[in-house]
Chains A and B, each alone.
Chain A
Amino acid sequence: MLSKTLHISTSPHINKGVSTDMIMKNVVYALIPVALFSVYAFGINALLVIITAVISAVMTEHLLCRWSNQQSTVSDWSAIITGLLLGLTLPPIFPLWMTFLGGVMAIALGKFVFGGLGYNAFNPALVGRAILQAAFPVAITTWHPAFLEDRFVSISKSVMAFPFTEPIVDGISGATPLSAFKFDQITTDSADLALGLISGSTGETCSWLIALGGIYLIYKKMMNWRIPVTILLTVFVLSGILYLVESQIYPSPTFMLFSGGLMLGAVFMATDMVGSPITPLGIVIYGIFIGVLVVVIRIWGGLPEGVMYAILLGNALTPQIDSLIKPKVYGSKKVMV
């Protein structure tokens, strides 16, 4: 009796019980409705793109870990998020071989070279997408209309394009609301925008489902609400001011809010914990910075959409924000630098 070996550990001996893999898993859960809507809107093409992105991200992570003699980190679920997010930011008829390459790049150059989970300075999915945008500027801006009747039975030739060949465009293409506005000055109905009845990247069209996923994560305390709120508020206020000044030239703030990848980026990508600042004030600065960049790129830049670059630049600014914004330590006289 009382002779068995005692367990010994350092305090605290209890834990809140929220683990990193649990956070990652919940992000995946929050993204599932978005992915399902994407398949509903764009059919089998979108399904193939998303699945390919996830498989390539997970496979790359596993193999890189193996080749560098480390334990595979696939079980922390973060590679699945990277794959999902990459798939959701690509056009629905994006060639699968390019998608696959994007997944490899996202993990290898966006995550692994920095040291893996926790050390990736930039959102890996966006790094992958940025590389694809530079390498395949045509394919990544070839959009496809949503809700085509044959979307569940026919696979686009473009999707199945043979590696290293020019993508084949089917002939049917659908401009996104942002590109329609930028190049043809056509505005899209706000109700269609909010409900996601528009063309765009696979997962960016249904703003309300994305927002719902964000609310779920905020409720679970697994996402910092300040990031999406400051980004969206900044975009809304800034474009609102412009709209008030000259409503003929500038798009309405609701159009800005619900079009393009803003919602997906603000809720699921700018909130990547690793690439965002750690203090509340730092987060607000980061959010405003991204919001301003989104408006500037969309309205005055050459591209119709700027969420990706805005977030990547925000990630780049994060270390500077964190070294400048330090909370005042209890009882210290030091003030913020």
Chain B
Amino acid sequence: MLTSLKNTFKHGVHPPENKEETNGLPIRQFPFAPLIILPVQQHIGAASQIIVKEGQEVSRGQLLAKANGYMSVPMHSPVSGKIRKIADVLLISGQTSPGIYLEPFPYSGQEVVVGNPISLDASPEEILKGIQDAGIVGLGGAAFPTHVKLKIPEGKTCDYLIINGIECEPYLTTDHRVMLEQADDIFTGIRYLLKVTGAKEVIIGIEANKQDAADHLSSKIPTDLPVRVQVVPVKYPQGAEKMLITALLGKEVPSGGLPIEVNAVVVNVATTAEIGRLLPHGQGIQERVITITGPGVKKKGNYLIPIGTPLRYVLEQVGAVDNISEVYMGGPMMGVSASSLDISIVKGTSGIVVFGDNEVRKVDKIYPCIKCGACVDACPIFLNPSKLGILAKFEAYDTMAEEFNLMDCFECGSCSYVCPSNIPLVQYFRLSKGIVRKRNSAKQQKSNA
């Protein structure tokens, strides 16, 4: 154990938080769009397989697409309506994926089709299956299938269940509101999670800018649960699994390893609440909480938005019409710019940030690296982004991976955030990592052949 217990990790950055405009606004239900567009690729892993037909009428909560294998989750209907067509849908990456165009009935109500309820007495395997059947993925943004993450590998034990309520991305207040408004769901979710992981202790990690949420959850802890709330100093990227584990447990997750290597499992707090809400009723995900904010938005807030709602419709409803220059799905540090407004809200969408012309970062000039070391002081995993950036320019990808630990970079963007020369460091690293992965798999294939 190398790090002392100081309740935070080393390095990192402090971007302006910009959360005060939405953190006091309760979660509100969003209306149904005239057309819901659901891509089958909303998560990491294999795309869901569509099981409905064009012209078919479906009910809210009904299964539309089933999981395609273990590394996949199913997809449910967010609304009662009629399947207009099954065709390609635009994704944020610019690629397309098969998808379902669903026209809600004008009288569509809130009642939901109920599947197989999973009780708390169910076996860990049944609960894991229930989590997969509910279509649950990491709602923090990664959209990694939760049941896969929760499966404890043979020979490993989970001592700590860490509930991630850090929300270190500026602007976003989704998890904050969920913690304030859905405490009961969170604790029910924790009961299921304790069952599947066998953890002995639960730590809810919350940053100090959400003291009200920490106090609220602390006051609601059921007496029979081994839960404690730990408030940690505000710092980006504390919400990253590895950083949060270091902050709470003082341990470092080995390079290339998963949290279970240090006997921990980390689950996002909104995901936990979703598990607690859906499993007792055997339902699937139909909607999620999303913070819509940014200088370009008139009606900022935290909204419960049906999955598949087109981004264009969302922006029209919140009055982000006149002053719109760039739209980010997620926060401003790791979020992805939308290249088109014809994409949909997906399970991994944790926030929508709209910047106007004045706020968009315009890089007019990229200076050479002056070796100021700001990136070295910012990198939470102690890489040398300055050196890596220079190597990337020389296309020395193998050197980057072998000698400078490129593959440990989890793309938090702290290096680019502090770089005075505007060098797009993290973008270099994303591309370099992709190239290294490709080369490695090519090597693998060669040695197999």
Contact = CB atoms under 8 A, between A and B. Distances in A.
B178 to A, nearest CB: 23
Contacts, number: 165
A15 B360 CA distance: 10
B361 A332 contact: no
Interface size bucket, A side? 35 or more
Nearest to B170: A14
Given A2-B341, A12-B333, A273 B326 contact: no
B413 A7 contact: no
A117 B326 CA distance: 33
B426 interface: yes
Given A6-B339, A11-B334, A20-B421, A118 B371 contact: yes
Which of A4, A6, A23, A224 has most B Cβ within 10 Å? A6
B367 A279 contact: no
A251 to B, nearest CB: 34
A1 B324 CA distance: 10
B204 interface: no
B417 A4 contact: no
Interface string B359-394: 011010001111111101000111110110000000
Interface string A9-30: 1111111101111110000000
A317 interface: no
Contacts of A12: 15, 332-334, 413, 416-417, 426
B372 A8 contact: no
B27 interface: no
Interface size bucket, B side? 35 or more
A279 B316 CA distance: 49
A330 interface: yes
A21 B368 CA distance: 11
B312 interface: yes
A155 interface: no
A1 B321 contact: yes
A15 B413 CA distance: 10
Interface string A312-331: 00000000001000111111
Contacts of A278: 371, 373, 376, 384, 386-387
Contact of A329 (B334, B383, B416): B383
Given A15-B417, A20-B420, A330-B382, A8 B337 contact: yes
Contacts of A16: 13, 15, 374, 417-418, 420
Given A8-B337, A13-B361, A19 B367 contact: yes
Given A2-B324, A12-B413, A19-B422, A273 B370 contact: yes
A76 B416 contact: no
Contact of A15 (B246, B253, B361, B371): B361
A116 interface: yes
A119 B326 CA distance: 35
Q: Is the interface of B mostly helix, strand, loop or mixed?
A: loop
Contacts of B360: 7, 9, 13
Given A10-B424, A20-B421, A328 B382 contact: yes
B69 to A, nearest CB: 30
Given A329-B255, A332-B408, A20 B370 contact: yes
Contact of B380 (A15, A326, A330): A330
Interface in A1-58: 1-2, 4, 6-16, 18-23
A132 B369 CA distance: 29
Nearest to B424: A10
A274 interface: yes
A2 to B, nearest CB: 6
Interface string A134-146: 0000000000000
Contact of B381 (A20, A22, A276, A330): A330
Contacts of A327: 376, 382, 384
A328 B376 CA distance: 12
B328 interface: yes
B5 interface: no
A13 B355 contact: yes
Interface string A113-157: 001111100000000000000000000000000000000000000
Contact of A13 (B337, B339, B383, B422): B337
Which of B170, B374, B430 has most A Cβ within 10 Å? B374
B315 interface: yes
Interface string B73-114: 000000000000000000000000000000000000000000
Contacts of A274: 370-371
Contacts of A22: 420
A40 to B, nearest CB: 32
Given A13-B361, A329-B408, A332-B408, A19 B421 contact: yes
B334 A8 contact: no
A9 B341 contact: no
B254 interface: yes
Which of A21, A76, A118, A333 has most B Cβ within 10 Å? A118
A230 to B, nearest CB: 15
B257 to A, nearest CB: 7
Contacts of B374: 16, 18
Contacts of A117: 367-368, 370
B337 A331 contact: no
Contacts of B416: 11-12, 15
Contacts of B257: 331
A7 B353 CA distance: 13
A16 to B, nearest CB: 5
Contacts of B333: 11-14
Interface in B277-299: none
A255 B386 CA distance: 39
B325 interface: yes
Given A1-B321, A13-B332, A331-B408, A6 B417 contact: no
B367 A21 contact: yes
Which of B369, B372, B405 has most A Cβ within 10 Å? B372
Interface in A248-307: 273-274, 276, 278-279
B355 to A, nearest CB: 7
A14 B15 contact: yes
A18 B367 CA distance: 12
Contact of A331 (B253, B321, B384, B417): B253
19 contacts: A1-B316, A6-B324, A8-B339, A9-B360, A11-B335, A12-B334, A14-B15, A14-B332, A18-B420, A22-B420, A23-B420, A278-B376, A278-B386, A329-B381, A329-B383, A330-B252, A331-B408, A332-B254, A332-B405
Given A13-B328, A118-B370, 14 more contacts: A4-B324, A6-B326, A8-B326, A9-B337, A11-B332, A11-B426, A13-B360, A13-B361, A19-B420, A19-B421, A117-B368, A118-B371, A328-B2, A332-B255
Interface of B: 2, 13, 15-16, 170, 242, 246, 252-257, 312, 315-316, 321, 324-328, 332-341, 353, 355, 360-361, 363, 367-374, 376, 380-384, 386-387, 405, 408, 413, 416-422, 424, 426-427, 430
Q: Which 3 A-B residue pairings sit nearest by Cβ, starting from the closest? A: A118-B368, A330-B381, A12-B413
